[in-house]
Amino acid sequence: MDEVRAAAEAALPQVEGTIAVRGLREPVEVRRDSWGVPSIFAASLDDLWFAQGFVTASERLFQIDAALRAANGRLSEVFGDLTVPQDRFARVVGFNRLGVQEAERWNERSRSMVTRFVDGARAFVASSPAPPVEHALLAFAPELPTDLGSWAAALAFVAWGLSGNWDRELLRVHLAERFGQDAVGALLPPSPSDPPNVLAGGLAGRLLDALPHVGGQGSNAWVVAGSRTASGKPLLANDPHLLVQQPAAWFELELHAPGYDARGVAFPFAPGIVIGATPHHAWGITNVSGDVQDLYEERLNEDRSAAEFDGAWEPVVVHREEIPVRGGDPVVVDVRETRHGPLLEVETVGVTNVEYVPLDRAYALRWTATEGLLEPSALVDGANAESFEEFRESLRGLSCPGQNVVYADVNGTIGYQLTGLYPIRRNGDGTTPVPGWTSEHEWDGFVPYEELPWSRNPERGYIVTANNRPHDDAYPHLIGHDFHTSHRARRIVEVVEATEKMSVDDAAELQVDTESIAARGLVPRLTAFEPSNDDERWALELLRTWKGDQRADSAAAALYNAWLSRIAWIALDAETNRAAHDRYFARREAFVCRALPRLLEGDVPAWIAGGYSSWTELLRVALRDALAFLQGGLGVDRAAWRWGAVHRVRFAHPLARMPGLGALFVAAEHELGGDEQTVLQASFDARLGFDVVVAPSWRLVVDLSDVEHARSVLPTGQSGNPASPQWNDQASLWVSGELRPAPVSRDAGGMTTLRLEPGG
């Protein structure tokens, strides 16, 4: 362990003094605050992007290398057979091919931005005193490619994680085969219509000014007009929810040069600020969860060299993908592609520790990412916007994944825009696979940007987005069917409505709110029977007096969630068909929030096995099992039961799995409240238990009366080096719901200064 720590210390970046760097044109100043967040001051945009690449690589080089390898299907060059399934899936979907296509599509400004960022990152590799500890342990040299396509592939990889709904289409097929078509409608019912105060926007040209608004992995974002804030200026809050990981998914920094002045977070592998603020405005994002993927079942000829379409045979394109495997022979994959997209080999099951399950049919994937991802120059245009109208125009560059974007500026304007490409389907609604051998299910273009939902200065004085359906029933276009439910959005609206003048502290407190509107509505239905023994009496009384606050110290929250898991286990007959349970319940939201409340209103349906005569009978069995589970894990003293004891979050570097390295590579571990329906989103892969796998990846609150003092926090810390003081110095703030001030200027105290000069 001492040798590993010494290797990590040797790779710590220089943060003071001067470094001569080949590729810079003029000197650049890099000032880091006490949290390690850099402010970069450059004389030109070219040098700014170069310096951003250099500084980011100095803190996150292994993360960048790993992200590029994952996106391009090259993990097995380092990890051997262990990662061949991931690489094979990446090559079949074709993130690498999409990257090449996207880089060719970029405008000249975008190509220049990324080129300079890559040059800067590679310059750090050339000048670094020692390789990152991960590279030293795994015995391979850092390798950053020069071609822009490899870097654009990382954007495709991110877009994949935020796109939908190919897996839901397959889920509907599996549920129908296992339980019958009636069960599909019961287990995946359509999203209910939301009340006006949780809708995100209306038709282009018709602002829903009377409404407050709501926009995977989910996220929360909201803006409040100055009429409703303590400062009299707008307030913006955002906490994007992503898979739990270490280092953090985002790299936080400030960027200053003529033509660009922004602070916030960036992807570790790309230039520009993705979420943040300028001296004029701030913006936040949540995932739309729209339907941007369709599966086409293809009819292939005998040797799979052609696919039928409208009575003729069209040649299938074959992409030969060779995956180098460390310590073994390369794996060759012949990816076949029809007019609709690549023919998939497997489906994925789960949120984390994903299983790859072979497909038994020829499904081709069509995905809007083939039409565009993120135009890097759009980040510059958005930062330089001088009005909401200009800002909206810049968002045309966000093609995939579609995002709900909220906006607030120093002049008092608040706004919302839904972005992305959404297919206009000739037939069907995108919920199930369709025949690929006929033109009846083709796409006829995309919903015009001008007709996507948006809003400006609604009369209610706030806009809320939390991944639920963003429009009302009158909206004429199909954005999707598998949105998240509106419970988080409703809770945010509830608190905003109850707060006379919202302050930064109020917003920060709301970001870690654990009260569940979903639990409030469901518990009375679950407990509507008389107890038959003392254990049931204790449990029912505990839940009947509970207000739905899923705090980490709540025994009721532990019981509620354990009971729901057992209900699903029984209803889905997991004892005899675990696969169906895992496919459906891994993301449990549909069952808990949409299916179960409706099912409890009627008789036990025939497709539920076990011969239960009533829901009361099934609920009693599930409650008994839940109590036994909690007693086995938490002990017989029920006064000591806590939700957080079984609902923990662990921020662990991938190398924490190596024997003896956990103490160095686990950055933080906490008991956590909340679930997927609370503002503090802390969801779990329900097939694996209750460990948190999705959580807030960053929190931001900006009061537009004082943009310079925006407040934020990362889950662990800024650095990717376990020997750095900034490896996990923000962890205690994050878990307690506190925010820290952002760096403010060249003259702030406690800052280190590094000067990058041309040379080297």
Which residue blocks in 586-689 are alpha helix, DSSP H?
A: 589, 596-599, 615-634, 643-646, 662-665
d(CA 676, CA 686): 11
d(CA 590, CA 37): 39
Q: Where are the beta strands (DSSP E) in 324-442?
A: 331-338, 341-342, 346-349, 355-358, 363-367, 403-409, 414-418, 423-425, 434-435
Name the token pair of 436. 């690929």
Query: How do residues 158-170 score in pLDDT, each as one tens digit?
Result: 999 999 789 999 9
d(CA 324, CA 303): 27
- Contacts with 470 (C-beta within 8 Å, 6 or more apart), sequence order: 199, 200, 201, 213, 214, 215, 288, 404, 418, 453, 479, 483
Name the token pair of 259. 């033509």
The two beta strands, 293-297 and 414-418, are unpaired
Q: 68 to each of 62, 153, 270, how far by Cα in Å?
A: 10, 7, 11
Bridge partners (DSSP) listed for residue 694: 243, 683
Bridge partners (DSSP) listed for residue 367: 293
Question: What is the helix (H) or strand (E) element at residue 700, kind and residue range?
Answer: strand 699-703
The letter for the amino acid at 211 is: L
- Compute and round to an integer the Cα radius of gyration of the chain: 26
d(CA 755, CA 747): 15
- Residue ranges in the chain modelled with pLDDT below 50: 202-216
d(CA 401, CA 393): 17
Of 157, 163, 396, 166, the closest CA to residue 289 belongs to: 163
> At residue 745, what are phi and psi to the nearest 5 degrees?
-165, 175
Angle between the N-to-C axes of helices 555-571 and 517-526, in degrees from 0 to 180, rounded to the nearest 10: 70
Residue 696: CB atoms within 10 A of its CB come to 26
Name the token pair of 169. 């289409």
Of 187, 196, 191, 190, the closest CA to residue 490 belongs to: 196
Q: How many CA atoms lie within 13 A of 315 on its CB side?
A: 3
Residue 126: CB atoms within 10 A of its CB come to 11
Label residues 131-162 b or e (16+ Cβ within 10 Å = b).
Answer: bbbbbbbeeeebebbeebbbbbbbbbbbbbeb
DSSP 217-247: --EEEEEE-GGGBSSSS-EEEEEEEEE--SS
Q: 94 to each of 73, 136, 165, 343, how far by Cα in Å?
A: 9, 30, 17, 11
Name the token pair of 75. 């993990």
SS (H, E, C) 597-611: HHHCCCCCCCCCCCC
Of 333, 342, 402, the closest CA to residue 366 belongs to: 342
| pLDDT at residue 680, as a whole number | 97
Whether residue 96 is preceded by a cis peptide bond, meaning omega within 30 degrees of 0, is no
What DSSP state is assigned to residue 637? -
Name the token pair of 729. 């110095």
d(CA 694, CA 679): 13
What DSSP state is assigned to residue 398? B
Residue 657: exposure state from Cβ atoms within 10 A (0-12, 13-18, ≥19): exposed
Residue 502: CB atoms within 10 A of its CB come to 23
Residue 575: CB atoms within 10 A of its CB come to 11
> At residue 113, what are phi and psi to the nearest 5 degrees?
-55, -50
- Whether 243 and 228 have beta carbons less than 8 Å apart is answered as no
The two beta strands, 235-243 and 699-703, are antiparallel
Q: Is 83 helix (H, G, I), strand (E, B) or coil?
A: helix
Estimate the share of the chain in helix, then strand, then coil, as percent rounded to the nearest 5: 35, 20, 40
Name the token pair of 449. 């940007």
Bridge partners (DSSP) listed for residue 583: none
Question: What is the helix (H) or strand (E) element at residue 699, kind and residue range?
Answer: strand 699-703
- Whether 347 and 174 have beta carbons less than 8 Å apart is answered as no
- Contacts with 573 (C-beta within 8 Å, 6 or more apart), sequence order: 580, 581, 608, 609, 610
Q: Is 204 helix (H, G, I), strand (E, B) or coil?
A: coil
Name the token pair of 493. 């609206």
